Structure 1
Amino acid sequence: MLNDLRRITHNFVQEPNLELALGNLVSDIKACLNTDVCSIYLVEDKQRLLKLQASDGLNPKAVGKTVMRFDEGLTGWVAERGEPIKVHNATNHPRFKQFTDIEEDVYSGFLGVPIMHRRQVLGVISIQQTESRHFEQQEEAFLVTLSAQLASTFANVSIRLRNVGQDSAVDHSGLVLQGVSGASGIGIGHSYLVQTKIEFSDVSLKKVAAPEPEKARYFNAVEKTKADIIQMTQRMAEQLPKDALAIFDVYQQLLDAASLGNEIVDKINQGWCAVSALKIVSEHYVAEFEKMEDPYIRERAVDVKDLSRRLLEYLTVQQGVKPTVPHSAIVIAEEVTASMLAEIPREQIKGIVSLKGAENSHAAIMARALGIPAVMGLRDVPLLSLDDTDIIVDGYSGQVFITPNETIVEEYKKLESEDIAFTDLLKREADEFAQTLCGHRVSLYINSGMGFDSDIAEQQHIEGIGLYRTEYLFMMRQRFPSESEQQSFYQQVLADFEGKPVVMRTLDVGGDKQLPYFPIVEENPFLGWRGIRLTLDHPEIFLVQVRAMIKANLMTNNLHIMLPMICDVGEVDEANRLINQAFNEVRIEVLEADPNAKLIKPKVGIMIEVPSMLFQLDKLKGKVDFCSIGTNDLTQYLLAVDRNNDKVASLYDSYHPTVLAAIKRIADMTKDAGIPCSVCGELAGDPGGAMLLTGMGFTQLSMNTQNVLRVKWVLKKAQLECLEQLVEDVLHCNRPDQVKFRVNRTILNIGAASLLRAGK
């Protein structure tokens, strides 16, 4: 039966029309198991109801109309119990219920299996036989296996059947795809597919006798690609802030000889043709980036692929006539890139849909900077099925509506206008500082890693950088950056934020977040050689970085140094010893050049992200100047969940009561110890999370730039006493959903409903 399983699964996934796919599926199952009837029931959204969505054997007029509760009939019993049920004589069973419109009273043999995805019942597949039939275990196992294989498809490509009126006909056109939000907002328009003309999978490796002509071809392709990027930069200069525009600087850096260029030339010198050399080097870097744990760094694989494809097109002369862009374009691609967006007039882009990618991709960063709604990470969706169709992008829920009916369109047009008004409101209040309704001040900082935030630094309401990820500088090299290179890089960041604190995290790599030139192979990278463990084992790396930071700070004196992945006080002691050593070395150098110079030692703090530190907080007094909670890793380690593993990612939730209790414990203990403590994880950038953290007593939150205005807005509507009561309430909850219900209820009560979704 293995071949039948493969064939049926393949046919279902490849059919773009879900109604046809379901119809073919029930017919294939019926034929394969030699039964009289096969039917599929799907759970109505957020209700304990099953609706008949496809059948081969029952009354076709009942499809899309017959609805049953979980406590009705044998099919409902399958959904209620969440396990397979076999009945050889259904009509005599006490759970049998006759639904006259589907005409199933003539069938006796029954086998039903649930469609389960992440503990949730999505529907039921049932087969029936006219005569009494004892279905065999192999038949049950076949149906269970098929259901398990198709469950993710049902979860990600679901039908939302909406009634226009209470008695009106059902509209089967409303296909809804579920992804993740890349940029909030509502986009209504027509699909514009962007497909790459050639892929590296189409390239065969080939060697040549003469390297010089190949190098000339490569350099010519580089110059043409650089010219493209310059044009993109000029085109977007008036629409993007400098930090977002710096995405194209990254592209230029990748093209430089010091990045990809030297290695490609080396491969050509070894006898490979230009195309083969490009393939070898780019695929190596893509593979290395995709291994990284840090989602921001991991998304740089997309940039390398995008740039390499452009070079490949010039090397293979694949340019052609581009299709006409619709006036209201929803840009769709297997993997939307920043350069794709730069080639389309901004006023024509109404939304973005990327089958791959995440909120940290450059496309998502640009989308947020341009104010374009974006949904990323759709799965099991054939790209061509989205061609030439009307689409709505809901950047709040991560949903994409395909060929929506008029009722849905009108609903989203209203939400779109309300959303625009809300965004304008946020911008009008952009220059104000964050404080609660009762005047309690909360300092908002940003998380950064690219070093292109000078425009943001000028905004007074942003009070500094709470987390600067220095590893990005190391990732963009083919060797460890020198002390002078690091000093120059850090100096620019500190100068941009002169007068405001900049918290620079020391090198945080290791495990599966590898440097291309310093590979580490481990069976369990999340619990491996990473962060401070690596740099303490290699003090020559740590000392060079700290010396560069201290030298960069000479003119501005706004540097704070933060140590990542600290799990015991002994690591703090050793790191402090090395920092003191570096400081004294720099002090001697400075005083030799200028005996009157004054050198101020930067403040030193730690990230609290390893659970063991919860039991050593009282020992930090006198050893650190500050702490910052990294909620991402803290959540991951407390719940033992790999947040990058989609099979368990749903269990990763910073709203888990255990996580919140741990954060509250940190807040209380650091306050008692007199150690300033902030939060720099994703929870701080979530409006509801910011409310909870403020209620716990935190007065400094650091977040991605695009979250600042929303966090500030919700805090301005709340009373501190209300937030403190909310914290007390949620700490008595048992599950994350209970916490979220109370947080959302508070958001509604303070008049901030616009944060929960589009509209008011």
Structure 2
Amino acid sequence: MKKLTELHQIIQQVSQAESLESALQAIVAGVRNTLHTDACSVYLSDQAHSHYVLMASEGLNAQGAGKLHLRHSTGLVGWVAERQEAVNVRNAPAHPRYCQLQGTDEEAYHGFLGVPIIHRQQLLGVLVAQQCAQNRFKKSEQAFLSTLATQLAGSIALSLSQNALQGSTQVQSNSPSQYEGGAGAPGIAMGTGVLVFSTLDLDQVPDRTAEDSEAEVAALQAAVDGVAADFELLAERLEPGLSAEDRALFRAYALIARSQELFDATVHRIRQGNWAPGALRESILEHVRLFEAMDDPYLRERAHDIRDIGHRLLARLLPSDASCETDYPPHTILIGENLSPVDLAAVPTERLAGVVSGHGSSLSHLAILARSMGVPAIMGITGDVELGKLDGTRLIVDGYQGRLYLNPGESLQKDCRRVQRQEKKLSQELQSLRDLPAETLDGVRLPLYTNAGLLSDLSHSLSRGSEGIGLYRTEFPFMVRDSFPTEDEQYLLYRQVLEAFHPRPVTLRTLDIGGDKALTYFPVQEANPYLGWRGIRISLDNPDIFLTQIRAMLKANAGLGNLRLLLPMISRVEDLDEAIVLINGACHELQNQQDHIVLPPLGVMIEVPAAVYQAEELARRVEFLCIGTNDLTQYLLAVDRNNERVARWFDALHPAVIRALIQVTDAARLHGKPVCVCGEAAGDPAVALLLLGLGVESLSLSSGDLPRIKWVIRSFSRQQGQELLRLALAQEQATSIRAMLLQALNAAGLGALVHPGNDIPVA
């Protein structure tokens, strides 16, 4: 317990350090005192010069700190780095790998214990303890040093990044001027960082007794009216540059701000005695928690939208705490912890070059809007860089790879401008494919559909040449109400979607809510929502909800005939059989009441391993199969792709995933049923080559990815795809498979489709 306390004390001292040097000095002093050893030192890796730098020491000659170098392959420090595990030696000078670092007076030390400092699979340096006695360090001491190195790796990485931002060249770590995030919107941008921040913090708003409840309600109403009006004005200001559907996003924000449910819940809390800001905090956070608990990444991103609207309402209620006016220079790179579409829209379009958001994903409205505006964006930038330090910094944003470059040199800037010219030419070439079919060199048609979840998504799909909607999520209208939408309300929505794409096919997925997507009016609490009451399970347990939706869909399809029904989360044939009985019953009932009601093609989502192994039985019962690569990959590999710590293990080219896809397509082919692949994998050019070889009949992907995938399809034959699939099956690693597919794309002259940003060398 004593060592645990001392461990926490060292970590706390490091976290409070004002510089890299002081942080490292706190480490060596703390270790020396805790282990009662004669010396402790920290060596950091300088990749640029292939050596280690002695950065801090207690016990060695301190004058050498920051000056003494040891080549990477040299000495016991180098051996620790090579092994990437602890080295515990009784008599260091007698060891064959021993190399005395001149000028440190370390010849007096015999016992040597070194542990690697590793952050995100990147070796940052080595932490060393030494003693005069010819003894190995105790196992407990080795465990302590290893634990400390692991705990402090993130702090050291952050200090290194801050060191790079401040221009220090004492240590050049593996990539001090390059940081990784998530790809939000494609493109390459270069400009100056502008930090968007607010002194308002919704979570920190206190509870206070309302002296005049009616005055608080009136203030709330004024705030709602003001914020809603702001959103309406933004939509009007953006009219020249965005479609009506894109501008509708801001009007949707206005509707949320005016939400009667939100207003009534806040007024109720005011009537109970809380002042308006405190009441608003509780109402907003209640909605935020609801969305954050959802498994569906698209819907989970809506939590940020709700929170942002709450901040803007709060700014109206507390005007004295409002953020100051922001100055946007030419070529602004907008930066923020939680940027919203409103932050993006506030920048004059002619000055906005790129976006860097600390949180969010490619499914956030910020990323969707950035793609629509053609603005490169990076989402979920890692915690290794402090965003506040980027304000005023020269930056390059690589939206293809989610890569951020700091203070690029002239050579890197020249490369960036070259890639931008290539990008412009590529965009023109892709646009020319819009009205051409997605047809292979040997004449095989592979229709490209798009995924959608909002009416505003439809215009993007049509403008990119979509041949239909392969997956329309129907959950969102259920999330923005205080009760289940009526049959008529659902009918109007589905009719709009079907009419917009008629005669192209539209696949409506039935309601996919559950323990992880609990509605305010239908709460569900579960210990493990990922494996819980969701999808078809909740629909079958509540047939009234299911039948209401089915009837609305069937009536919306009357006279159009382009509807396809899709059932989510199918894991056993009993559920499918029961759903078919309900759907047939609803159809027959409506046919007795009105004309033009037909039973649409029915499909099932293959998104859990159980469905893969029963694909043949499922295919026998339905008209098509739809493989949801996002969830299927997640379940097969036991990887939460939204968890930054394990996201790199999420790969649709994993051999297990490929074999699962083969099993599904083989089962469908046996019964003559088509297979559609939806999910992000369908928009990956490398994966698309394998899907072509698998013989899938259609792909459903993001509208932004559609032109690139169309070019891939038109540049290869199905026979070539089959040969690449054969080669992939001979590989044992996803990295090898991807390298082979990228080589095939490059050989076909399509290397720029994968990542034009690859042309920018690593800084």
TM-score, length of structure 1 as denominator length: 0.91
Name the counterpart of 1:332: 335
User: In structure 1, what is the equivalent of residue 294 of structure 2?
Assistant: 292
CA deviation digits over 1:392-442, x for unaligned, max 9? 222222222223333333333333333333233323333332223343322
From the superposition, tell whether residues 286 and 348 of structure 1 become closer, same or farther in structure 2 (CA, over 3 Å): same
Task: Give the deviation of 1:269 after TM superposition.
Answer: 3.3
SS in 1 for 2:515: coil
Deviations 1:11-66 (A, max 9, x none): 55566866775566556655665543412333849x9x764373434774875964
| Matching of residues 228-247 of structure 1 within 5 Å | 228-247=230-249
Equivalences for 1:358-369 in 2 at 5 Å?
Answer: 358-369=361-372
How many percent identity over aligned positions?
38
Which residues of 2 match residues 27-42 of structure 1 at below 5 A?
29=31, 35-42=38-45
Question: Which of 577, 581, 588 is matched with 1:577 structurally?
Answer: 581
Which whole-Å deviations, capped at 9, do the CAs of 1:466-515 have from their partners, x for residues lacking one? 00000111111122111111111111111111111110000111122222
Establish whether residue 538 from structure 1 lines up as the match of residue 542 from structure 2. yes
Alignment of 1:553 onto 2:557 = yes
Q: Does 1:447 align with 2:451?
A: yes
Q: Residue 353 of structure 2 aligns with which residue?
A: 350
**Which residue does 2:717 correspond to in 1?**
719
Structure 2 counterpart SS, 1:191: strand
Distance 1:387 1:453 in 2: 33
SS in 2 for 1:42: strand
1:509 aligned residue (504, 510, 513): 513
CA contact (8 A) 1:467 1:702 kept: yes
CA contact (8 A) 2:76 2:99 kept: yes
Structure 1 Cα separation of the partners of residues 120 and 677 of structure 2: 30
For residue 53 of structure 2, what is the aligned residue in structure 1?
A: 52
User: 1:39 touches 1:127 (CA, 8 Å); kept in 2?
Assistant: no
Spell out the pairing of 1:564-643 with structure 2 (5 A cutoff): 564-590=568-594, 597-643=595-641
Q: Do the aligned residues in 2 keep the contact of 1:191 with 1:332 (CA within 8 Å)?
A: yes
Q: What is the Cα-based RMSD across aligned positions, in Å?
A: 3.0
Contact 1:457-1:497 within 8 A present in 2 as well: no
Aligned CA distance change for structure 1 residues 364 and 79 (closer, same or farther; 3 Å): same
Q: Whole-Å Cα distance in 2 between the matches of residues 420 and 52 of structure 1?
A: 44
Which segment is superposed worse, 221-230 or 194-203? 194-203
Counterpart residue type for residue 376 of structure 1: M
Are 1:185 and 1:394, in contact at CA under 8 Å, matched by a contact in 2? yes
Give the residue type in structure 2 aligned to 1:374.
Answer: A
Could you tell me which amino acid in structure 2 is paired with residue 221 of structure 1?
Answer: A
Aligned residue runs from structure 1 range 638-657, under 5 A: 638-657=636-655
- Aligned residue for 1:679, secondary structure, equals strand
Distance 1:748 1:128, change over 3 A: farther
Give the 5 Å matches for 1:712-751. Answer: 712-751=710-749
Matched, 1:213 2:211: no
Deviation at 1:177, TM superposition (A): 2.3
Is 1:434 the equivalent of 2:435? no
1:282-339 deviations in whole A, cap 9, x for unaligned?
A: 0111111111111110011110111010000000113354132121211111111111
1:626-648 Cα shifts (integer Å, max 9, x gaps): 11001111112222333333443
| Deviation (angstroms), 1:281 | 0.5
Q: How do 1:5-20 residues align onto structure 2 when only pairs under 5 Å count?
A: 5-10=7-12, 12=14
Q: Which AA in structure 1 matches 2:715?
A: K
**Higher alpha-carbon deviation: 127-136 or 739-748:** 127-136
**In structure 2, how many angstroms separate the alpha carbons of the residues matched to 1:743 and 1:222?**
53
Deviation per residue, 1:335-382 (Å, 9 max, x gap):
111110111112212221111222211111111111222122124343
Which residue of the partner structure matches residue 309 of structure 2?
A: 307
User: Could you tell me whether the CA contact under 8 Å between 1:608 and 1:628 is conserved in 2?
Assistant: yes
- Residue 500 of structure 1 is matched in structure 2 by 504
Deviates more, 1:459-468 or 1:136-145: 136-145
252-261 vs 566-575, greater mean Cα deviation:
252-261
SS of the residue 2:465 aligns to: coil
Task: State the one-letter code of the partner of 1:696.
Answer: L
Deviates more, 1:447-456 or 1:683-692: 447-456
C-alpha contact 1:182 1:374 (8 A) present in aligned 2: yes
Q: Is this contact kept in 1: 2:183–2:362, CA < 8 A?
A: yes
Summarize deviations over 1:55-108 as a string: whole Å, max 9, x none.
434774875964323xx5322332333322222321101232456698865643
Q: Secondary structure at the match of 1:706?
A: coil
Question: Where in structure 2 are the equivalents of 1:449-464 lying within 5 Å?
Answer: 449-456=453-460, 458-459=462-463, 461-464=465-468
Aligned-residue offset at 1:676: 1.2
SS of the aligned residue for 1:519 comes to coil
- Distance in 1 (CA, whole Å) between partners of 2:16 and 2:379 is 20
Deviation at 1:535, TM superposition (A): 0.5
Can you give the 5+ residue segments of structure 2 that lack an aligned partner in the other structure? none
The offset of 1:9, in angstroms, is: 3.4
Deviations 1:594-615 (A, max 9, x none): xxx3322211111111222223
Write the distance in 1 (CA, Å) between the matches of 2:367 and 2:697.
29
Change (3 A) 1:423 1:180: same
Given residue 493 of structure 1, which amino acid in structure 2 is its aligned partner? V
Q: Does the Cα contact within 8 Å between 2:54 and 2:64 map onto a contact in 1?
A: no
SS at match of 1:419: helix
Moved more, 293-302 or 446-455: 446-455
State the distance in 2 between where 1:54 and 1:80 align.
20
What does residue 376 of structure 2 align with?
373
Structure-2 separation of matches of 1:198 and 1:170: 37
**Map of 2:405 onto structure 1:** 401
Larger CA deviation: 83-92 vs 671-680: 83-92
Partner amino acid for 1:426?
Answer: L
In structure 1, the residue corresponding to 2:507 is in which secondary structure? Answer: strand
SS at match of 2:494: helix
The SS at the match of 1:620 is helix
In structure 1, which of residues 273, 279, 282 is the aligned counterpart of residue 281 of structure 2?
279
Q: CA deviation at 1:10?
A: 4.6
How many residue pairs end up in the alignment? 745
Corresponding residue number in structure 2 for 1:753: 751
Residue 169 to residue 254, structure 1, CA distance change in 2 (3 Å): closer
Deviation at residue 578 of structure 1 after TM alignment: 0.5
1:689-732 CA-partner distances (Å, limit 9, x unpaired): 11111111113000111111121122222233222111111112
| Map of 1:253 onto structure 2 | 255
> How far, CA to CA, are the matches of 2:414 and 2:159 in structure 1?
23
TM-score for the superposition, normalised by structure 2:
0.91
Structure 1 residue 684, shift from structure 2 partner: 0.6
- For 1:711 and 1:428, locate their aligned partners in 2 and report how far apart those are by CA, in whole Å: 14
Give the equivalent residue in structure 2 for 1:203: 205
Q: Which amino acid in structure 1 is aligned with residue 372 of structure 2?
A: A
CA shift in 2, pair 1:43/1:429, >3 Å? farther
Look up the SS of the partner of 1:440 in the other structure. Answer: coil
SS at match of 2:565: strand
Cα deviation, 1:650-703, whole Å, max 9, x if unaligned, reads 322211101101101211220121111110122111111111111111130001
Q: Partner residue of 1:593?
A: none
Q: Is the 8 A contact 1:14 1:382 kept in 2?
A: no
Q: Deviations over 1:192-250 (max 9, x none)?
A: 11111211233111232543222211111111101110121122222233443332133
Unaligned runs of 5+ in 1: 163-167, 591-596
CA distance in 2, matches of 1:200, 1:621: 50
Take 1:731 and 1:152, find their aligned partners in 2: how far apart are those partners? Answer: 38
Superposed CA deviations along residues 494-545 of structure 1, whole A, max 9, x for unmatched, are 1111111110000111122222222222222211111101100110110011
